[in-house]
Amino acid sequence: MMKLATDIRYRKEKLKALRAAIIAHEEALIEALYCDFRKPAFETVVTETQYVIADISYTLTHLNHWAKPQWVWPSLLTFPNTDRIYRQPYGEVLIIAPWNYPFQLALSPLVAAIAAGNRVVLKPSELTPHTSACIQTIISEVFYPDEVRVELGDATVAQRLLAQRWDYIFFTGSVAVGKIVAAAAAQHLTPVTLELGGKSPCIVAADADLKGTARRIVWGKFINAGQTCIAPDYILADARIIEQLQEALQQAILEAYGKNPQGSPDYARIISDKHWQRLVAMLSEGSVVFGGTYEAEERYIAPTLIRNPIASSTLMQEEIFGPLLPILSYTNEGELQQKIGQFEKPLALYVFSNSTAWAQKQIETFRFGGGCINDTVLHFNNKRMPFGGVGHSGMGSYHGHWGFETFSHRKAVTQKPFWGEVPMRFAPYRGKLKIVKKIMRYL
């Protein structure tokens, strides 16, 4: 148990064993995700198994460097000391994961927590029982129960865990449950990372390359059947090109999933009956101009484009989290700001434009977790960049080094030799104030 906290080599051994176990169970995971919501094998490999494997490999490459005590220049007051920042594990960490990327969003924070030397209790989602069982098998093969333990179950299990005292809580899920987690953490002043959601807008300017834009929006929106926290939630298109954009989106959907997406092996299903019903109800909250078909037994909903959505509807007030894409228009930047500004700060924002200056202006104008210019979702995939929300879309971040930092306390220590004393700081202070004031200007 202590080995994880103090021995970097041991952490690396464990991470290597975890990587090997994931490779050994990859086929079972592909099968499990297919059973849970017919996630296509390609998407499982790219966004779940190989994603986590690459995450572990990247961590193994950099861990020695990240974990090394960091020397910093002393200040005038700490001179001639040696000043260092130590990264210390928090201790025992609770990770609560959602269902939409059930393997990646459970394992990726776990990798960061282990890299930083913490013990972990992991609660995967109850809505993906096959994947969650697979996670438990993998973890029990690699870790001792007092290092990492998986607790299966629903909200009641999560609440029982939240009632305990933790050294850190890392939660990925909805805003509503995020508030419950933050309240529980506050009882013990436990630090938290909240990876939440929101309505992520996708702005399309009149000068954007519409064919390329449509292809990239369709990919980011309909991967995982729209059940992605950073999927474009709605489009805001320049009114002058909205018809051409709609046409290009329709074309891109046909190219990706064919005339009958229900028969496509590349298109996932909705996670649960409840979510399916929620989404089907939204279909009547605007004009369906493309798609709109659905089937209860398979929990299927076609990739759907909606125009003229009702502003006060659930479709336009809540995070959609499914394959429905409302297309709205704007005529000037003021309207753009007003339409985006009515929502809480989103997790992602996308801008498509041929003008880098204009796109960058939008990026600087709005507050959001992270995003792309001329693409969707892809910012998630650079481990050198932090991933996380702001305001209601979350607090804190992870990925790569950022994840290691999230799960580490930064402990500042100054080490003083017994020579080089500055007697000025010791009482009695009489006659010292003037000179101290002068010196302090240079600190």
Nearer to ligand NAD, 274 or 411 (CB): 274
Q: Which residue is nearest to ligand NAD (CB)?
A: 197
- Rounded to whole angstroms, the Cα distance separating 102 from 31 reads 13
The crossing angle, in degrees rounded to 10, of helices 50-67 and 8-24 is 170
Which residue do the tokens 């990264």 mark? 87
Nearer to ligand NAD, 8 or 180 (CB): 180
Task: Give the binding range for ligand NAD (CB under 6 A) out of 109-117, 121-129, 218-226, 325-333.
Answer: 121-129
- Rounded to whole angstroms, the Cα distance separating 270 from 244 reads 29
**Contact (Cβ atoms closer than 8 angstroms) between residue 249 and residue 305:** yes
* Residue 195 annotated as catalytic: yes
- Rounded to whole angstroms, the Cα distance separating 100 from 227 reads 6
Task: Give the binding range for ligand NAD (CB under 6 A) out of 122-130, 293-301, 310-318, 371-379.
Answer: 122-130
CB of 402 to ligand NAD, least distance (A): 13
344 binds ligand NAD (CB under 6 A): no
Q: What is the DSSP letter of 86?
A: E
- What b/e string do you get for 364-380 counting C-beta neighbours within 10 Å, with b at 16 or more? eebebbbbbbbbbbebb
Catalytic member of 48, 134, 202, 229: 229
Q: What angle do CA 44, 46, 48 make, to 5 degrees?
A: 50
Nearer to ligand NAD, 11 or 399 (CB): 399
* Residue 372 annotated as catalytic: no
**Contact (Cβ atoms closer than 8 angstroms) between residue 389 and residue 198:** yes
Task: Give the binding range for ligand NAD (CB under 6 A) out of 4-12, 41-49, 137-145, 172-180.
Answer: 172-180
Beta strands in 11-54 (DSSP E): none
321 binds ligand NAD (CB under 6 A): yes
**Contact (Cβ atoms closer than 8 angstroms) between residue 281 and residue 368:** no
Task: Give the binding range for ligand NAD (CB under 6 A) out of 11-19, 67-75, 150-158, 248-256.
Answer: 150-158
- Rounded to whole angstroms, the Cα distance separating 401 from 383 reads 8
* Total residues in contact with ligand NAD, by rule CB under 6 A: 28
- What b/e string do you get for 63-88 counting C-beta neighbours within 10 Å, with b at 16 or more? beebbeeeeeeeeeeeeeeebeeebe
Residue type (1 letter), 29:
L
324 binds ligand NAD (CB under 6 A): no
276 binds ligand NAD (CB under 6 A): no
Nearer to ligand NAD, 173 or 386 (CB): 173
Spell out, one character per residue from 393 to 432, where the chain touches ligand NAD: x when CB under 6 A holds, - when not.
Answer: -x--------------------------------------
Judged by CB under 6 A, the residue of 93, 218, 229, 305 near ligand NAD is 229
**Beta pairing partners, 325:** 305
169 binds ligand NAD (CB under 6 A): no
Helix (H, G, I), strand (E, B) or coil at 292: coil
Judged by CB under 6 A, the residue of 196, 268, 302, 315 near ligand NAD is 196
347 binds ligand NAD (CB under 6 A): yes
Q: What DSSP line would sit under 386-403, residue for residue?
A: -B---GGGEE--BSHHHH
CB of 96 to ligand NAD, least distance (A): 5
- Rounded to whole angstroms, the Cα distance separating 314 from 233 reads 12
125 binds ligand NAD (CB under 6 A): yes
- Rounded to whole angstroms, the Cα distance separating 20 from 141 reads 11
Judged by CB under 6 A, the residue of 177, 242, 268, 359 near ligand NAD is 177
Task: Give the binding range for ligand NAD (CB under 6 A) out of 136-144, 153-161, 330-338, 428-436.
Answer: 153-161
CB of 300 to ligand NAD, least distance (A): 19
155 binds ligand NAD (CB under 6 A): yes
Nearer to ligand NAD, 257 or 380 (CB): 380
Catalytic member of 195, 285, 319, 405: 195
319 binds ligand NAD (CB under 6 A): yes
- Rounded to whole angstroms, the Cα distance separating 403 from 63 reads 11
Q: Rule CB under 6 A: which residues touch ligand NAD?
A: 96-100, 105, 123, 125-126, 154-155, 158-159, 162, 172-174, 177, 180, 195-197, 229, 319, 321, 347, 389, 394
Among all residues, which ones are annotated catalytic?
A: 195, 229
